[in-house]
Amino acid sequence: MPERKGLLEKRRAIERGARTVFGQEGYTRASIDAIAAAAGVSTRTIYNHFTDKEELFRTVFLESTASVTAGLGELFARHFQRFGNPADTESELLALAREWVGQNAEHPEHFALVRQIITEGQRMPADVIEEWQRVGPRAVRAELAEWLRTLARQGVLDIDDADVAARHLSLLVGGMTLESFFGAVWVSADEVESFVVSGVRAFLKLYGASGR
């Protein structure tokens, strides 16, 4: 049991080191030597746990993506369950949006990895990028669409195609992530608030129960 615990601790140290180095250096420039140094282990220890750099990157990035997706699912559930009275829809949607755009600060290491995907995507394994899209952005939009369908059935929103509406809401609110380049560029609190308010109001002009 102690040996197994030690192996698990080393694996976690490797994954922490990998997230840091990949986030700082990108996939192409990151070296196993640098990851080993950051993790406080030998390169041989890394190869005892992972076949190569590609497998290590795939593991840490997709695990991180799944964690962030799960967190957003919890955020959606917590907020959308409060919806009910159409008169409160704007205030409820604003509360959700404000927490949503704060995810960059909640998961800085993950979004550092996403920045690397954006900047050097052509040099990364194509299957990793596809799996990221499936586990991350597409899964988030699918979850969001289900909640929007529920609100449409309840008469809180006027939506014909929840998948399209989810894409619109993701762009109008989640687009703040792009404005800040996934947390790399500082954006003032006033700018964030202005973006959120304008995005929510634009969404409600399209889909508000009394706005069409």
pLDDT bucket at 136, cuts 50 / 70 / 90: very high
- Within the chain, residue ranges assigned H as helices are 2-29, 32-39, 43-49, 53-80, 89-101, 103-106, 108-120, 126-135, 137-153, 162-172, 176-179, 189-207
Q: How far apart are CA 159 and CA 207, in angstroms?
A: 6
Instruction: Give the pLDDT confidence score for residue 54 in this predicted structure.
Output: 92
Write down the CATH superfamily of domain 57-207.
Tetracycline Repressor, domain 2 (1.10.357.10)
- At residue 212 the predicted structure's pLDDT band, cuts being 50, 70 and 90, is very low
DSSP structural state of residue 86: G
**CA dist 95 → 9, 135, 173, 197 (Å):** 38, 25, 11, 10
Question: pLDDT at position 145, please?
Answer: 98
Range in 87-96, 107-116, 152-161 the model is least confident about: 107-116
Q: Is the pLDDT of residue 211 over 60?
A: no
Nearest CA to 58 out of 111, 29, 20, 22 is that of 22
pLDDT of 177 higher than 80: no
What percent of the chain is modeled with pLDDT above 90? Answer: 67
The answer to whether 206 touches 158, Cβ cutoff 8 Å, is no
Q: What is the CATH number of domain 1-50?
A: 1.10.10.60
pLDDT in tens, 8-27: 899 999 999 999 999 999 89
Does position 56 have pLDDT exceeding 60, yes or no?
yes
Average pLDDT, the chain: 89
The band of 181, judged by pLDDT with boundaries at 50, 70 and 90, is: low
Q: What local confidence, expressed as pLDDT, does residue 187 receive?
A: 76
Place of tokens 């102690």: 2
Contacts of 47 (CB under 8 A, 6+ apart): 32
Q: Nearest CA to 168 among 205, 136, 131?
A: 205
pLDDT over threshold 90, residue 48:
yes
Report helix angle 108-120 to 53-80, nearest 10. Answer: 120
Please indicate, yes or no, whether the overall pTM of this predicted structure exceeds 0.75. yes
**Residue extents of the structural domains in the chain:** 1-50, 57-207
